[in-house]
């Protein structure tokens, strides 16, 4: 596992087409923004491990952001 330290507004690029941006940091919570091609599936690990199928299905539905 690669561990990085980033500040608000800083970015990490993965494979030239996926970009993670630190949007905000409040206490122990970090808000990340993800820019990726439409065919890339992004899932929150906590939902898949919790067994919350309804939340997992809602999370896996694509959302278009402009």
Tens-digit pLDDT profile for residues 47-65: 666 666 665 556 555 555 5
| 14 pLDDT above the threshold of 90 | yes
Mean pLDDT of 19-38: 95
- Return the higher-pLDDT residue of 42 and 12: 12
Give the chain's mean pLDDT. Answer: 83
Q: DSSP per residue over 1-63, as a string?
A: -------TT-EEEETTTEEEEEEEEETTEEEEEEE--TT-----HHHHHHT-HHHHHHHHS--
Check whether residue 17 and residue 47 sit in a common domain.
no
Please give the model's pTM, rounded to 2 decimal places: 0.67
Domains contained in the chain, number: 2
Range of 27's domain? Answer: 1-35
Check whether residue 44 and residue 29 sit in a common domain.
no
């Amino acid at each position: 596992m690669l561990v990085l330290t980033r500040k608000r507004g800083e970015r990490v690029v993965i494979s030239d087409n996926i970009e993670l941006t630190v949007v905000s940091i409040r206490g122990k919570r970090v808000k990340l923004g993800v820019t990726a091609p439409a065919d890339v599936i992004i899932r929150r690990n906590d939902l898949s491990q919790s067994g919350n199928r309804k939340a997992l299905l809602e999370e896996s539905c694509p959302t278009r952001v402009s």
